């Protein structure tokens, strides 16, 4: 007779496959049974989403949903360890699904290849019991938070940048705060640094993503969450960790408060003043005659060595730069006066009776425009003209020198 009572509800395959976690005190058979009927949504198949999803699939979470709109790129692979070289250029959700299925074919993986936005978020999130925020931008964070409160789902939220990582479980238990309770107003977009500017170390996202998975496993096993109402901070450089107890749910919170003003998803890009992605948006600050194209700059430097300021941080300057470039960051430029800038460029009257043109270059052509404005505002400069190299090194690599590193 096919009676499972002697295994307390686990199949022979489950008991075998998951034995090493079933043996763990307090997780046990109950934790495993609950895992197999749980539905967990992972938003973002990137640095945090890869480890979170991998451990949850390995642990036997019955249904895992993955949301992402993006494709895998080569510079993802150092940390987005579920993706493979052959997946570069293909859908992240599909790539992650293939990997998770090969790790555990007995669970269900649902892909949502889409930008999570106000229109689709409620429909997607309502299909799941627990949500993991593995995204990378403020608009998406507020959206996920509000939708989790509106649908009453616990939210396991992670973030990481450079050497540092953070983790919190929001909207858990009666008095657990939501993201909006703690951050009622969005950050000023100009102060937000993302991975493509600040960088991030792979193991740091690995630590935080693994901890997100662990919080989920405790939740499904009916154990208390360690970071509900607490902020875990990890400094991967010094190895130190800190846990801060957060304020309780705010009765005045716009979404989880006693009289909420937000009762349906709002326009989060408008609210945050920034797009629901962490890609750099190109700006246009200068007049046409204040800019040269990369091809024009190539022709100019063929005739004579131009004066060129490179405004990128020294660490990027070190990756690669044009030989004539002098590294002066935007921040330094704003502190220097015209004479000091000239001095840094080693431009002196004896060598140079004639005034020269000055060019400014940066990574993608945004800071170089800001720099031209800064230099011009100082007035009194020694240059015939000040212009930026439109599109920066990215465009230089695409249109002039394909050997120049793109990063
Ligand atoms: N609103 C959203 N809908 C769907 N996916 C999102 C949304 N916001 C962010 N993501 C996804 O979350 C993931 C975050 O991953 P990660 O922070 O590692 O950055 P990345 O965008 O892959 O890399 P990089 O910042 O280096 O270009 C990305 O794959 C991104 O596409
Ligand atoms: Zn709240």
CA of 180 to the centre of ligand 2 (A): 5
**Phi, psi of 325, deg, nearest 5:** -75, 140
On whether both 171 and 267 belong to a single domain, the answer is yes
- Decide whether any atom of ligand 1 lies within 6 Å of the 136 Cβ: yes
Q: What is the pLDDT of residues 104-124, one digit of tens each?
A: 999 999 999 999 999 999 999
The reply to whether 198 falls in a domain is yes
On whether both 143 and 264 belong to a single domain, the answer is yes
Structural contact between residues 212 and 134, judged by C-beta atoms closer than 8 angstroms:
yes
The reply to whether 368 falls in a domain is yes
CA of 199 to the centre of ligand 2 (A): 30
On whether both 239 and 358 belong to a single domain, the answer is no
Which residues have CB less than 5 Å away from ligand 2 (the ion)?
178, 180-181, 253, 256
The reply to whether 283 falls in a domain is no
How confident is the prediction along the chain (407 residues), in pLDDT tens digits per residue?
455 555 568 898 998 999 999 999 999 999 999 999 999 999 999 999 999 999 999 999 999 999 999 999 999 999 999 999 999 999 999 999 999 999 999 999 999 999 999 999 999 999 999 999 999 999 999 999 999 999 999 999 999 999 999 999 999 998 999 999 999 999 888 777 777 788 999 999 999 999 999 999 999 999 999 999 999 999 999 999 999 999 999 999 999 999 999 999 999 999 998 888 877 778 899 999 999 999 999 999 999 889 999 999 999 999 999 999 999 999 999 999 888 888 888 765 445 556 789 999 999 999 999 999 999 998 877 788 999 999 999 999 999 999 999 88
Pairwise CA distance, residues 285 & 362, whole Å: 14
pLDDT of residue 280: 76
Q: Range of 358's domain?
A: 288-399
Structural contact between residues 266 and 146, judged by C-beta atoms closer than 8 angstroms:
yes
- Written in H, E and C, the secondary structure of 105-173 is CCCEEEEECCCCCCCCHHHHHCCCCEEEECCCCHHHHHHHHHHHHHHCCCEEEEEEEECEEEEEEECCC
On whether both 201 and 310 belong to a single domain, the answer is no
Q: What is the dihedral of CA 294, 296, 300, 306, to 10 degrees?
A: -40
The minimum-distance atom of ligand 1 relative to the CA of 75 is 26
On whether both 209 and 319 belong to a single domain, the answer is no
On whether both 173 and 299 belong to a single domain, the answer is no
- Decide whether any atom of ligand 1 lies within 6 Å of the 197 Cβ: no
pLDDT of residue 274: 87
Q: Provide the 10 A C-beta neighbour count for residue 118.
A: 17
Q: What is the pLDDT of residues 256-293, one digit of tens each?
A: 999 999 999 999 999 998 888 877 778 899 999 999 99
Among residues 238, 272, 306, the one where a domain terminates is 272
pLDDT of residue 349: 46
On whether both 261 and 211 belong to a single domain, the answer is yes
* Ligand approaching nearest to the C-alpha of 132: 1
Percent of the chain whose pLDDT exceeds 90: 83
The minimum-distance atom of ligand 1 relative to the CA of 116 is 3
pLDDT of residue 3: 56
CA of 226 to the centre of ligand 1 (A): 26
The reply to whether 331 falls in a domain is yes
On whether both 343 and 244 belong to a single domain, the answer is no
CA of 186 to the centre of ligand 1 (A): 18
Count of domains in the chain?
2
Pairwise CA distance, residues 309 & 330, whole Å: 10
Structural contact between residues 116 and 139, judged by C-beta atoms closer than 8 angstroms:
no
On whether both 180 and 239 belong to a single domain, the answer is yes
Query: What is the residue with the minimal CA distance to atom 11 of ligand 1?
Result: 44
pLDDT of residue 160: 97
Among residues 225, 248, 272, the one where a domain terminates is 272
DSSP 213: H
On whether both 241 and 315 belong to a single domain, the answer is no
Q: What order do you get walking across the sheet with 240-245 strand by strand?
A: 108-112, 63-67, 39-43, 130-133, 155-161, 164-170, 230-235, 240-245
The reply to whether 18 falls in a domain is no
Q: Can you tell me whether residue 41 is helix, strand or coil?
A: strand
The reply to whether 26 falls in a domain is no
On whether both 165 and 254 belong to a single domain, the answer is yes
CA angle 147, 148, 154 (to 5 degrees): 175
CATH number at residue 344: 3.40.250.10
The reply to whether 13 falls in a domain is no
- In the chain, how long is the greatest CA-to-CA distance? 101
Among residues 207, 238, 272, the one where a domain terminates is 272
On whether both 218 and 349 belong to a single domain, the answer is no
Query: What is the residue with the minimal CA distance to atom 5 of ligand 1?
Result: 68
Element (H, E) at 342: helix 338-344
- Decide whether any atom of ligand 1 lies within 6 Å of the 324 Cβ: no
CATH number at residue 76: 3.40.50.720
The reply to whether 28 falls in a domain is no
Q: What is the pLDDT of residues 309-327, one digit of tens each?
A: 999 999 999 999 999 999 9
């Amino acid at each position: 007779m096919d009676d499972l009572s002697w295994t307390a509800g686990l199949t022979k395959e489950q008991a075998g496959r998951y034995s090493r976690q079933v043996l763990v005190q307090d997780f046990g058979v109950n934790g495993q049974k609950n895992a197999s009927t749980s539905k967990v949504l992972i938003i973002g198949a990137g640095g945090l989403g890869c480890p979170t999803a991998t451990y949850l699939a390995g642990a036997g979470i019955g249904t895992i949903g993955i949301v992402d709109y993006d494709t895998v790129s080569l510079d993802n692979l150092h940390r987005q360890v579920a993706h493979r070289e052959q997946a570069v250029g293909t859908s992240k959700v599909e790539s992650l699904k293939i990997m998770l299925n090969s790790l555990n074919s007995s669970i269900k993986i649902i892909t949502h290849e889409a930008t999570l936005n106000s229109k689709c978020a409620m429909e997607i999130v309502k299909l799941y019991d627990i949500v993991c925020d593995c995204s990378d931008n403020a608009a998406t964070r507020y959206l996920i938070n509000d939708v989790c409160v509106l649908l009453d789902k616990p939210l396991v939220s992670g973030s990481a940048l450079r050497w540092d990582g953070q983790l919190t479980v929001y909207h858990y238990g009666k008095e657990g705060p939501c993201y909006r309770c703690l951050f009622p107003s969005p950050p000023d977009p100009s102060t937000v640094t993302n991975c493509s500017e600040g960088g991030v170390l792979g193991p740091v996202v690995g630590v935080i993503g693994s901890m997100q998975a662990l919080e989920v496993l405790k939740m499904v096993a009916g154990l208390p969450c360690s970071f509900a109402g607490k902020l875990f901070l990890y400094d991967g450089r010094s190895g130190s960790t800190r846990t801060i107890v957060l304020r309780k749910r705010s009765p005045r919170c716009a979404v989880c408060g006693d009289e909420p003003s937000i009762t349906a998803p709002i326009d989060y890009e408008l609210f945050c003043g920034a797009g629901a992605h962490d890609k750099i948006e190109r700006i246009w600050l200068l007049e046409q005659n204040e800019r040269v194209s990369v091809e024009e700059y190539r022709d100019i430097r063929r005739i004579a060595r131009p004066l060129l300021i490179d405004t990128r941080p020294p660490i990027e300057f070190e990756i690669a730069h044009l030989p004539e470039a002098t590294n002066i960051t935007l921040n330094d430029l704003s502190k220097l006066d015209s004479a000091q800038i000239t001095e840094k460029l080693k431009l002196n009257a004896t060598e140079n009776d004639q005034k020269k043109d000055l060019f400014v270059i940066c990574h993608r052509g945004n800071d170089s425009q800001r720099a031209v404005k800064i230099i011009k505002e100082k007035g009194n400069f020694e240059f015939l003209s000040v212009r930026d190299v439109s599109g920066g090194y990215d465009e230089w690599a695409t249109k002039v020198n394909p050997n120049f590193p793109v990063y």
